[in-house]
Structure 1
Amino acid sequence: MVDTTKESRDYLEMAFRSVHCFADDGKLLIDELEELISIATRDGVVDNNEKRVLRNIFSRLSPAELTPEMLERIQQLRLEYKI
C-alpha cells in the first residue's frame, strides 16, 4: 500500500536518471523515456514534481531525437498526464 500522506521523491530519481541518459550519448532514447515514465507512474500518480521533470526533459530534446515514435509517445504522455 502506498503512503499518500508522504510526498513522493520519485521526481529526484527521474531527474538523476535523466542526467545519466543524456550524459551517456547526449540523447534520450525511447526505452530510456519509458524507464523514466515507469518511475513516475510506479506509485499510481504522476504528481506536479514529476510533470515538471518531464517537461524539462521534453524541452531538452533535440530535433534529431524526435523520431516519429518519440513524438507520438511524448504527445500521448502530454495528453494522458496533462504535462
Structure 2
Amino acid sequence: MSKENRDFLEMAFHSIQCFGDDGRLDAAELGRILAIAERNGVTDDNERRVLGNIIARIRPEEIDAAMKAQLDAIARKFGIAVPASA
C-alpha cells in the first residue's frame, strides 16, 4: 500500500504562518513552500492546487523583482496563473 503524499498540507500550513507573520508572502517564503512541493521529485495535483491558491492571495502591489522572477518560473513550470505586478 502506497503512502499518500501529504506535502500539500504542510505547504498550506506553512503559507498560513507566512501570511500570518506580516500579512504578505515574500519570494524567500514562496521558495520554501515550493521546495516542500518539489522535495520528493514529483509535484502532484494537490500540491499544484495549494500552490495556486497560495499564489492567488498575493496582491499585485506586493510583487517585487524577486517575487516576479519566482512567480514567472512557477507559471512556466506548472502552468499556474500568477497575478500581474503593479
Using structure 2 for the length normalisation, give the TM-score.
Answer: 0.85
Moved more, 70-79 or 45-54: 70-79
Using structure 1 for the length normalisation, give the TM-score.
Answer: 0.87
- Aligned pairs, number: 80
Provide structure 2 residue ranges, at least 5 long, that are not aligned to the other structure. 81-86
Q: Does 1:71 align with 2:68?
A: yes
- Provide the identity percentage: 45
Following TM superposition, where does structure 1 have runs of at least 4 consecutive aligned residues deviating by more than 3 angstroms? none
**Aligned equivalent of 1:81, options 58, 78, 82:** 78
* SS of match in other structure, 2:24: coil
1:21 partner letter: C
Distance 1:47 1:65 in 2: 27
Tell me the alpha carbon deviations over residues 10-48 of structure 1, each in whole angstroms, 9 at most, x when there is no partner: 000000010010000001011101110110001001111
Question: How much has 1:73 moved relative to structure 2?
Answer: 1.1
RMSD across aligned C-alpha pairs, in angstroms?
1.5
Distance 1:6 1:47 in 2: 13
